Structure 1
Amino acid sequence: MLSKPKETPGAQTMRRALQVLRVLGNHHEEGCSVNEVMAATGLERSTTHRLLTCLVEEHFADRDALTRRYRLGLDAMRLGFASLTRAPLVASYEAKVQRLARLSEDTVFLLARQGDYTVCLKREDGAFPVKIFSTRVGDIRPLGIGVGGMAMLAASPDEDIARIRQQHAPAFEAAGLSADRLDKMVARTRRSGYAELLDTVTEGVAGVGAVIPDPSGVPFAAISIAAIKPRMTPARRAELGALLIKTLAEE
């Protein structure tokens, strides 16, 4: 019978903080109350509150001011991104990203979902001389801000969309995405199978994006194509949207 590995002396606080982070990661979508973290970890209220407060201060956790529930913070997302850059996702879709950049001659992005956010894992510049620098590898944005994120948001259940819109209302307002405009974009994306955005992240930039198909139905990643707005006429957006859907459906 294998014995339990000996615990490192003097690391109890770190071990408890990691316990809390695991709980937040397992319940990131809906968030956790202090009582729920206590129940999951067996920690006392004062210890739980102290650890959560420290994690929020260090941006490894985030506390919703309205619901008082805790989720993973941006620095936890960045740690996840550091591992994702070497994950099979990039290796699996690198050839398609490069092919789309060659065919479109524009900038192509591979994005993954992490909770309520998207993180850019890869970008590939096409031959067109004007490059798009509004998104770089490692950039993190709320789901729906950016055309790849919009594609993933539209593929999510309605209750998730409403929660994310409320949770990140300032970011949506800053991008000019009112509740009414967001609803129309989600409906249009669901009808066509790809998202279109103009002048949201950066003025003068337009793009199309589509979700990478997954048997589970969970929108975990997307690929988008972006270019300067004069180049992205409605007809060309439709052409690139169809190209995205076709390319992503290929084995």
Structure 2
Amino acid sequence: MSVISKAIQILDYLVPQGSEKEVSVTEISRELDMPVQSVHRILTSLSDHGFVSQNSKSKKYKLGLSIMKYGFLMWDSLRFRSIARPFMEELSKQTKETVYLATRENTEGVYIDNIDSPQLLKISEPIGLRLPLVIGASNRVILAYMTANARESILNQIEWDELPSLRPLTREYISNDLEQIRKRGYAITSGEATEGTTGIGAPIFSYENTVIGSLNCAGPTLRFTAENIEKYSYYVKKYADLISQELGYRHLYRVSEK
């Protein structure tokens, strides 16, 4: 059995059953049929990373705060998707275009949910697609609403000549576009990730007043006329605002009523 498998077994054993659980190295060794030395070594490593903690008096172990942190992150992600889904469905009805929910992971944007367009000619990118935050409306709108320091840090890391964009992008162009995005409240890009497509994205904010993702609609550029862009951007911003409100954000930019 690998060390990782043993560590997972130990963590599973430490999961409380109704009340907080503290166990000794000897008990874990006996119950899981592992050598005491192996258990002690694994617990020491898990403790160094905060996955378990040791009671200084009893010397027994219990699950640590890192497990709680990752659990909350997973819960937040599931809650984000479940809250967003009804508004994604409404956006799909209003635009008849493909709708995406995206979030940020380090320097990339990731699609975590989508609703395909009912039309024959449509955009259909897979859930899990990752692209740098400077590419595409769904990602760039997240970058635009990050803090200035975080935004600059990401821009400074980019190798501009190596970006997987279908159109050449420069630091100057992106910086100017980020400013325009913040002024109008949404991002619009064409032909950067997929040829002949246009996307519109609006930011989604958490109760901590930070941007955590974006709501987007995308489709063939030929359907994104000036009239449709005005209509689609209104609904993308409207439903992104409502998702933010459901997540506890209280400093929404205003969306005019039609």
The answer, yes or no, to whether TM exceeds 0.5 is yes
Point out where structure 2 has 5 or more consecutive residues left out of the alignment.
Answer: 1-19, 30-35, 52-69, 247-258
Letter in structure 1 aligned against 2:222: P
Between the aligned partners of 2:217 and 2:146, the Cα distance in structure 1 is: 21
Task: Look up the match of 2:113.
Answer: 122
Does 1:222 pair with 2:202?
A: no
Given candidates 182, 188, 206, the residue that maps to 2:180 is 188
Given candidates 187, 190, 200, the residue that maps to 1:198 is 190
Does 1:155 pair with 2:145?
A: yes
Render the CA deviation track for 1:86-133: whole Å, top value 9, x for unaligned.
711111111111111121111000111222222211110122211213
Letter in structure 2 aligned against 1:147: A
Flag the 1:21–1:105 CA change in 2: closer, same or farther, 3 A.
farther
Paired residue total? 193
Any conservation in 2 of the 1:194–1:208 contact (CA below 8 Å)? yes
Task: Look up the match of 2:83.
Answer: 92
Q: CA RMSD in A?
A: 3.2
Between the aligned partners of 1:21 and 1:201, the Cα distance in structure 2 is: 39
Between the aligned partners of 1:120 and 1:233, the Cα distance in structure 2 is: 25
Any conservation in 2 of the 1:145–1:172 contact (CA below 8 Å)? no
Matches within 5 A, 1:1-251: 3=22, 5-6=24-25, 10=38, 12=41, 16=45, 83=74, 87-133=78-124, 135-170=125-160, 173-175=163-165, 176-250=168-242
Range with bigger deviation, 167-176 or 226-235: 167-176
Flag the 1:205–1:181 CA change in 2: closer, same or farther, 3 A.
same
Between the aligned partners of 2:49 and 2:197, the Cα distance in structure 1 is: 41
Task: Look up the match of 1:42.
Answer: none
Larger Rg: 1 or 2?
Answer: 2
Between the aligned partners of 1:20 and 1:108, the Cα distance in structure 2 is: 39
Task: Look up the match of 2:54.
Answer: none
Point out where structure 1 has 5 or more consecutive residues left out of the alignment.
Answer: 23-78
Shift of 1:85: 10
Render the CA deviation track for 1:119-172: whole Å, top value 9, x for unaligned.
211110122211213x31111222232211111100012222222122232487
Shift of 1:18: 8.9
Shift of 1:195: 0.6
Query: So what's the TM-score if we normalise by structure 2?
Result: 0.64
Letter in structure 1 aligned against 2:176: K
Between the aligned partners of 1:174 and 1:18, the Cα distance in structure 2 is: 40
* Percent of residue pairs identical: 19
Query: So what's the TM-score if we normalise by structure 1?
Result: 0.66
Between the aligned partners of 1:125 and 1:201, the Cα distance in structure 2 is: 17
Any conservation in 2 of the 1:142–1:171 contact (CA below 8 Å)? no
Any conservation in 2 of the 1:100–1:108 contact (CA below 8 Å)? yes
Shift of 1:194: 0.5
Render the CA deviation track for 1:6-29: whole Å, top value 9, x for unaligned.
36653646974895698xxxxxxx
Flag the 1:5–1:155 CA change in 2: closer, same or farther, 3 A.
farther
Any conservation in 1 of the 2:98–2:117 contact (CA below 8 Å)? yes
